Amino acid sequence: MKLIISSVSGEPIYEQIKDQIRAAVLSGELAAGEALPSLRKLAKELRISVLTVTRAYNELADEGIVENIQGKGTFVMSQGTELMKRRARTRIQRIFDETCTAAKAADIPLLDLMAMLEASYKDQS
């Protein structure tokens, strides 16, 4: 797993780390039980403070995505992937609800809306 950090993005570095680790877990790049880089190693590699990496790892642990094991490291939790998928489904459903409300207000037929979704989905591949 290679993390890319931008100091000019406006997003806090610890959030960038969390987002990229979440994406790696969801995509399967990081498997359940796999160890994340050590705090010091990642901080040195990214040229950032150990405290920044610690915050990212601790917040991921609070979310149930990783587990910090003292003296051993930080590991992807087996249920982390499922938890993230459930949260993603919930978030996507909210977006769909808002989209359907807007489409109905704009009098966009369901078939047109489905075609728009399909086009957007294909553009992301």
pLDDT digits 0-9 by tens, 93-117: 999 999 999 999 999 999 999 999 9
One domain for residues 40 and 27: yes
Model confidence at 14, pLDDT cuts 50, 70, 90, reads very high
Q: How many domains does the chain have?
A: 2
Structural domain of 23: 13-78
Q: What CATH number does residue 28 fall under? A: 1.10.10.10
19, HSE (Cβ side, Cα atoms, 13 Å): 9
One domain for residues 92 and 67: no
pLDDT at 88: 80
Query: Rounded to an integer, what distance in angstroms lies between the CA atom of residue 60 and that of residue 17?
Result: 10
- Whether 52 and 17 have beta carbons less than 8 Å apart is answered as yes
One domain for residues 64 and 104: no
Query: Rounded to an integer, what distance in angstroms lies between the CA atom of residue 18 and that of residue 3?
Result: 10
**pLDDT at 36 exceeding the cut of 90:** yes
List the alpha helices (DSSP H) in the chain.
13-27, 39-46, 50-62, 80-105, 110-123
One domain for residues 57 and 20: yes
pTM for this predicted structure: 0.69
